[in-house]
C-alpha cells in the first residue's frame, strides 16, 4: 500500500459526453449541487454562467455561442472526490473531446429521451470502445415525451454495439411521467416537480409488492403497463454484471430528468459504486499503478489564451500515480528537462484555484511556456518512462493553407505550428515541398475558422484556405516502406506530418483497399500515435 492509497481510492474521474442539448450541462450542475460545490442550481443561470467562468477566452466562442474548450471540475460528495471532465458541446470540436476521454476512467453518456442516440454520441462511443472505457447511460428529459423505452435501449444496443442493463425503468413520459421503478429495490420513486433547484427535496418511495398500492399510486393503466414491462424486461434484458460494465461491454441505464432534478442523485450514488477508482496506465516500462508513491502524469490537452490578459497556454494533465505537490521538481520526459510546474491550478466548480497538492486521478492545469505537447509524460526526476501515446484522431477535412503576405512567413510558421501543438489542427507537408504551402487537417470544419481567426488575432497573419477533396487519411505503419515506389490510386496523395511520418490521403474509401491490394506488405492505420517520431 502506498502512502496515499486512501486519498487515491476515493477519487472518481469521468468524462461526461452527449450530443449538444441533451442536458449535459444541466446534469453536471445538479451533480455540483449535491456536492455542495454551488449553493443552488437555480441560482446559477444555466450554461451561460457555468461555461463563462471556464471558457470565456475566445471571441469566436462568444460570436457563435458555442463552447470551444472543455473544462474540468472537481467536487466532493459522500466521501468521494470527483473529477468531471466536461467535453465540448459542439461536434466540430471532437478531437479535443476524444483526447479528454483518454484522461477519464469512465464516461457518463447523456441521451435525450426523445431523440435516442445522436451523431456525436456515436463518434465518441467509438473512442470509448477503443479503450474499453466503461459507459454509464443517463436517459434525460423524461418529463418530456420520450421514445418507447424498449426502442431507446434497442437503439443504444444497435447503434453502439453494447449491451444495456436498465437499473431503473420509467413510468410514462412527458405529462404522464410518474417516476421510475427501481429494479433492484423493487420500489417506485415518484416524480414531482417540488424539488426543482434544491437538494433537500425528498422523493416519495412506494414499494410495489402490493399491487393495490401500486395501482393507487400510479393509476390502473400505468400499473398494468409497468407490470407487463417488468415481466418483459426480466426475461429479455441483460443481467447486471459489474465486470462487464467495467470492461465497457455493458452499460447500466438510468432514466431521469436533470432539469427537474429527478433521478440525478440516485444515478450519482449508483454510478459512484459501479465505477472504479483511478485505473493503472500503460507505459514503456510496464503498467504503472496509481497508488505507488512516485508522482507521474501525462498531458492530454493544451489550451491557449485562457486568460486574455496574458498570452499563456495551459497544459492539462492527468495524474496517473502518487501525489503532486506544487513545490516539487518533476521530469518532463519528452523535453528532457527537470522542472517545477508553475501555477498549477484546478477548476473547482466555477473557480480556478491555485492548488498545492493533488493525487492520482486528479486533473491539473499548469502554465505552459510552450514546452509541452499532447501525450507528454511527467514523472519524478529519478525516473524516466513514457506513458502510452495518445492517438492522433483521423482528420476528416483538409485544406491547403497559404499566407497572403509572404513577408510574414516566420509568424505564419510559428502560428500554425503552435496551434497544431495544442492539438486543434493537424498540419502536413506535401511530399517534397517546404512550409510555404501546408495542408491542414481538422476533425470538424469549424476549426478552419478558428485557425484563420487565431492567426489573424494572435499572430497578425492573414491566410487563404483552399478546401481539398480528401476525407480519408491513413498513417503508414511499416515505416521502412519506400514512399516513392508506392503505387496508389489516382485520387491518392502522399504527405508527411511535421515529424516526417509518411501518410496517405484518399478521396474515396475504396481507394484505401485498392492501394493495400496493389502494395503487398503495406500496413495502414486510421490512428497515428503521439509517440511516432
- Asked if 207 touches ligand G4P (CB under 6 A), the answer is no
Least distance in Å: CB of 143 to ligand G4P? 5
- Asked if 21 touches ligand G4P (CB under 6 A), the answer is yes
Site string for ligand G4P, 30-69 (x = CB under 6 A): ----------------xx----------------------
Dihedral angle sign, alpha carbons of residues 80, 83, 89, 94: negative
Least distance in Å: CB of 342 to ligand G4P? 32
Pick one of 44, 259, 364, 424: the residue that binds ligand G4P (CB under 6 A). 259
- Asked if 270 touches ligand G4P (CB under 6 A), the answer is no
Segment near ligand G4P (CB under 6 A), from 206-214, 256-264, 358-366, 452-460?
256-264
d(CA 477, CA 483): 12
Q: Dig out the grid coordinates for 5 from the structure.
A: 492509497
Pick one of 8, 15, 22, 32: the residue that binds ligand G4P (CB under 6 A). 22
Our CB check for ligand G4P shows the closer of 46 and 500 to be: 46
Least distance in Å: CB of 531 to ligand G4P? 33
Our CB check for ligand G4P shows the closer of 268 and 473 to be: 268
Segment near ligand G4P (CB under 6 A), from 22-30, 180-188, 273-281, 462-470?
22-30
d(CA 242, CA 261): 26
Segment near ligand G4P (CB under 6 A), from 17-25, 240-248, 272-280, 430-438?
17-25
Our CB check for ligand G4P shows the closer of 23 and 395 to be: 23
Least distance in Å: CB of 263 to ligand G4P? 9
The angle at the Cα of 433, spanning 301 to 524, to the nearest 5 degrees, equals: 55
Our CB check for ligand G4P shows the closer of 45 and 485 to be: 45
Segment near ligand G4P (CB under 6 A), from 19-27, 192-200, 263-271, 344-352?
19-27
DSSP-assigned letter for residue 387: B
d(CA 53, CA 350): 6
What φ, ψ does residue 488 adopt, rounded to 5°? -115, -155
Counting residues that bind ligand G4P (by CB under 6 A) gives 18
Our CB check for ligand G4P shows the closer of 158 and 193 to be: 193
d(CA 94, CA 68): 10
Least distance in Å: CB of 86 to ligand G4P? 9
Our CB check for ligand G4P shows the closer of 108 and 330 to be: 108
d(CA 125, CA 122): 5
Residue 114 near residue 145 (C-beta atoms within 8 A): yes
- Asked if 25 touches ligand G4P (CB under 6 A), the answer is yes
Pick one of 4, 11, 12, 23: the residue that binds ligand G4P (CB under 6 A). 23
Among 275, 267, 110, 108, residue whose Cα is nearest residue 189: 267
d(CA 19, CA 124): 10
Least distance in Å: CB of 53 to ligand G4P? 15
- Asked if 421 touches ligand G4P (CB under 6 A), the answer is no
Our CB check for ligand G4P shows the closer of 141 and 472 to be: 141
d(CA 142, CA 114): 8
Strand partners of residue 316:
301, 365
3-state SS of the chain: helix, strand, coil percent to 5?
A: 30, 30, 40
Residue 461 near residue 418 (C-beta atoms within 8 A): no
Residue 134 near residue 308 (C-beta atoms within 8 A): no
- State the residue number with the nearest CB to ligand G4P: 46
Our CB check for ligand G4P shows the closer of 259 and 476 to be: 259
Our CB check for ligand G4P shows the closer of 8 and 33 to be: 33
Strand partners of residue 338:
331
Q: Which of residues 135-174 bind ligand G4P (CB under 6 A)?
A: 140-141, 143-144
Burial status of residue 371 (CB atoms within 10 A of its CB: 0-12, 13-18, 19 or more): middle
Contacts of 175 (CB under 8 A, 6+ apart): 145
Least distance in Å: CB of 52 to ligand G4P? 12
Segment near ligand G4P (CB under 6 A), from 13-21, 199-207, 368-376, 407-415?
13-21
Least distance in Å: CB of 65 to ligand G4P? 11
Among 29, 272, 26, 15, residue whose Cα is nearest residue 121: 15
Segment near ligand G4P (CB under 6 A), from 253-261, 334-342, 462-470, 519-527?
253-261
Q: Which of residues 69-98 bind ligand G4P (CB under 6 A)?
A: 89
Crossing angle of helices 24-34 and 46-55, rounded to 10°:
80
- Asked if 24 touches ligand G4P (CB under 6 A), the answer is yes
Strand partners of residue 467:
399
Residue 19 near residue 119 (C-beta atoms within 8 A): yes
Crossing angle of helices 264-274 and 24-34, rounded to 10°:
80
The angle at the Cα of 51, spanning 46 to 55, to the nearest 5 degrees, equals: 170
- Asked if 26 touches ligand G4P (CB under 6 A), the answer is yes
Our CB check for ligand G4P shows the closer of 66 and 360 to be: 66
Residue 14 near residue 104 (C-beta atoms within 8 A): yes
Binding site for ligand G4P (CB under 6 A): 18, 20-26, 46-47, 89, 140-141, 143-144, 257-259
Amino acid at each position: 500500500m502506498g502512502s496515499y492509497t486512501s486519498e487515491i481510492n476515493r477519487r472518481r474521474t469521468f468524462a461526461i459526453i452527449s450530443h449538444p442539448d441533451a442536458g449535459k450541462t444541466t446534469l453536471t450542475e445538479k451533480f455540483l449541487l449535491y456536492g455542495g460545490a454551488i449553493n443552488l442550481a437555480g441560482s446559477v443561470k444555466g450554461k451561460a454562467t457555468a461555461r463563462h467562468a471556464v471558457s470565456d477566452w475566445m471571441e469566436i466562442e462568444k460570436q457563435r455561442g458555442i463552447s470551444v474548450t472543455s473544462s474540468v471540475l472537481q467536487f466532493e460528495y459522500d466521501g468521494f472526490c470527483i473529477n468531471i471532465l466536461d467535453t465540448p458541446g459542439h461536434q466540430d470540436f471532437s478531437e479535443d473531446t476524444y483526447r479528454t476521454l483518454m484522461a477519464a476512467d469512465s464516461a457518463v453518456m447523456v441521451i435525450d429521451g426523445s431523440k435516442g442516440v445522436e451523431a456525436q454520441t456515436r463518434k465518441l462511443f467509438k473512442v470509448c470502445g477503443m479503450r474499453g472505457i466503461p459507459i454509464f447511460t443517463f436517459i434525460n428529459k423524461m418529463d418530456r415525451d420520450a421514445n418507447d423505452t424498449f426502442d431507446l435501449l434497442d437503439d443504444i444496443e444497435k447503434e453502439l454495439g453494447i449491451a444495456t442493463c436498465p437499473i431503473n425503468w420509467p413510468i410514462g413520459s412527458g405529462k404522464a411521467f410518474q417516476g421510475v421503478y427501481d429494479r433492484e429495490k423493487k420500489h417506485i420513486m415518484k416524480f414531482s416537480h417540488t424539488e426543482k433547484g434544491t437538494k433537500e427535496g425528498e422523493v416519495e418511495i412506494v414499494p410495489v409488492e402490493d399491487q393495490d398500492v401500486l395501482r393507487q399510486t400510479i393509476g390502473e393503466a400505468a400499473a398494468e403497463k409497468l407490470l407487463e414491462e417488468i415481466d418483459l424486461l426480466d426475461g429479455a434484458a441483460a443481467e447486471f454484471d459489474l465486470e462487464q460494465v467495467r470492461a465497457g461491454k455493458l452499460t447500466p441505464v438510468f432514466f431521469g430528468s436533470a432539469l427537474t432534478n429527478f433521478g440525478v442523485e440516485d444515478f450519482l450514488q449508483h454510478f459512484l459504486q459501479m465505477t472504479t477508482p483511478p485505473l493503472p496506465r500503460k507505459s514503456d516500462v510496464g503498467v504503472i499503478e496509481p497508488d505507488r508513491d512516485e508522482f507521474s502524469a501525462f498531458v492530454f490537452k493544451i489550451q491557449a489564451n485562457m486568460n486574455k490578459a496574458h498570452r499563456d497556454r495551459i497544459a492539462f494533465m492527468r495524474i496517473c500515480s502518487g501525489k503532486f505537490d506544487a513545490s516539487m521538481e518533476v521530469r518532463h520526459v519528452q523535453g528532457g528537462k527537470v522542472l517545477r510546474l508553475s501555477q498549477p491550478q484546478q477548476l473547482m466548480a466555477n473557480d480556478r484555484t491555485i492548488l498545492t497538492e493533488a493525487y492520482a486521478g486528479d486533473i491539473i492545469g499548469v502554465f505552459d511556456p510552450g514546452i509541452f505537447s499532447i501525450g507528454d509524460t511527467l514523472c519524478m526526476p529519478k525516473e524516466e518512462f513514457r506513458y502510452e501515446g495518445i492517438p492522433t484522431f483521423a482528420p476528416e477535412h483538409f485544406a491547403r493553407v497559404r499566407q497572403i503576405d509572404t513577408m510574414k512567413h516566420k509568424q505564419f510558421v510559428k502560428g500554425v505550428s503552435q496551434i497544431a501543438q495544442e492539438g486543434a489542427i493537424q498540419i502536413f507537408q506535401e511530399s517534397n515541398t517546404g512550409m510555404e504551402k501546408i495542408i491542414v487537417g481538422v476533425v470538424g470544419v469549424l476549426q478552419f475558422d478558428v485557425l484563420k481567426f487565431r492567426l489573424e488575432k494572435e499572430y497578425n497573419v492573414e491566410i487563404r484556405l483552399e478546401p481539398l477533396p480528401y476525407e480519408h487519411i491513413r498513417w503508414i505503419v511499416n515505416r521502412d516502406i519506400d514512399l516513392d515506389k508506392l503505387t496508389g490510386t489516382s485520387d491518392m496523395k502522399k504527405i508527411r506530418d511535421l515529424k516526417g511520418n509518411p501518410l496517405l490521403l484518399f478521396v474515396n474509401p475504396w481507394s484505401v483497399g485498392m492501394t493495400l491490394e496493389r502494395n503487398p506488405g503495406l500496413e495502414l492505420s486510421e490512428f497515428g500515435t503521439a509517440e511516432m517520431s
